[in-house]
């Protein structure tokens, strides 16, 4: 059972570089989300999607883009990396509005 | 507006003693509530969930939580702590309205002393 798969697990970027964090799920879930985790802040929502072709902003969307061309994939793009984007990023999926979320193992990103 | 408040950032217990991690929520409708656990450098694992069935919810590893609507609380308990329970715990509410996006509390770090 793969569940939610995130790649890469670790990444170091230089300020100004761009990159894409990949997220794929094999549970046919409509709802997918990206969060960032910072010490003492819990998980904060960056972007979310309720189905292919539908995305919306969360609490901290600035500097990030998403797209949802298929049900399975929900990539997160950093347009021009900044040190403030140093964080651990989690992708999650869930079946419906009242169900639990399943999380990937996270991507630890450092921007220098 | 904050939808979930975890009342303690750190809780320290001795092995074998009870655990209480406190969570209060705000929601206009009957919420779906969850507790997740995160061990160091790991992802998040579901401990238990409340979705308007029984108010006392049993989860994995001996944890349980009671939904109290009058107090808007969903506290997590365990009768006897084990060293392996040391982790970060998150209370989550699926925010009412729209897409019911999961909103996280800031987390409680559980420290277990031998």
Express each pLDDT in B44-75 by its tens digit.
999 999 987 788 999 999 999 999 988 999 99
Interface contact B90, partner A, CB < 8 A? yes
The two tokens of residue A73 are 């994939």
CB B4, CB B91: distance < 8 Å: yes
Pairwise CB contact (< 8 Å): B43 & A103: yes
pLDDT at A50 over 70: yes
Measured between alpha carbons, how far is A59 from A47 in angstroms, rounded to an integer? 8
Pick from B105, B109, B83, B30: nearest CA to A43 = B105
B42 confidence band (pLDDT: 50, 70, 90): confident
The residue among A88, A98, A102, A108 with the most chain B CBs within 10 A of its CB, best to mutate, is A98
Measured between alpha carbons, how far is B112 from A100 in angstroms, rounded to an integer? 27
* Burial of A69 from C-beta contacts in 10 A (0-12 / 13-18 / 19+): exposed
pLDDT at B1 over 60: no
Q: Rounded to a whole number, what is the distance in Å from the CA of B7 to chain A's nearest CA?
A: 13
Residue of A nearest to B1 (CA): A59
* Burial of B77 from C-beta contacts in 10 A (0-12 / 13-18 / 19+): middle
- Residues A57-107: pLDDT tens digits? 999 999 999 999 999 999 999 999 999 999 999 999 999 888 899 999 999
Residues of A in contact with B39 (CB under 8 A): none
């Amino acid at each position: 059972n793969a569940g939610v798969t995130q790649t890469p697990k670790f990444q170091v970027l230089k300020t100004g570089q761009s990159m894409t964090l990949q997220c794929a799920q094999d549970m046919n879930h409509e709802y997918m989300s990206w969060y960032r985790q910072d010490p003492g802040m819990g998980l904060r929502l960056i972007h979310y999607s309720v189905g292919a072709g539908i995305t919306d902003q969360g609490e901290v969307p600035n500097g990030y883009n998403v797209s949802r061309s298929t049900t399975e994939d929900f990539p997160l793009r950093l347009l021009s990396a900044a040190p403030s984007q140093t964080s651990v990023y989690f992708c999650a999926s869930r079946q419906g509005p009242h169900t639990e979320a399943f999380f990937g193992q996270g991507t630890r990103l450092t921007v220098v | 507006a904050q939808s979930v408040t975890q009342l303690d950032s750190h809780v320290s217990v001795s092995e074998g003693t009870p655990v209480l991690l406190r969570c209060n929520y705000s929601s206009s409708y009957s919420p779906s509530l969850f507790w997740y656990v995160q061990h160091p450098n790991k992802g998040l694992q579901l401990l238990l969930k409340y979705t308007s069935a029984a108010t006392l919810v049993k989860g994995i590893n001996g944890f349980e939580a009671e939904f109290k609507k009058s107090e808007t609380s969903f506290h997590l308990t365990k009768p006897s702590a084990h060293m392996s329970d040391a982790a970060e715990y998150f209370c989550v509410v699926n925010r009412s309205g729209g897409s019911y996006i999961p909103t996280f509390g800031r987390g409680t770090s559980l420290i277990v002393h031998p």
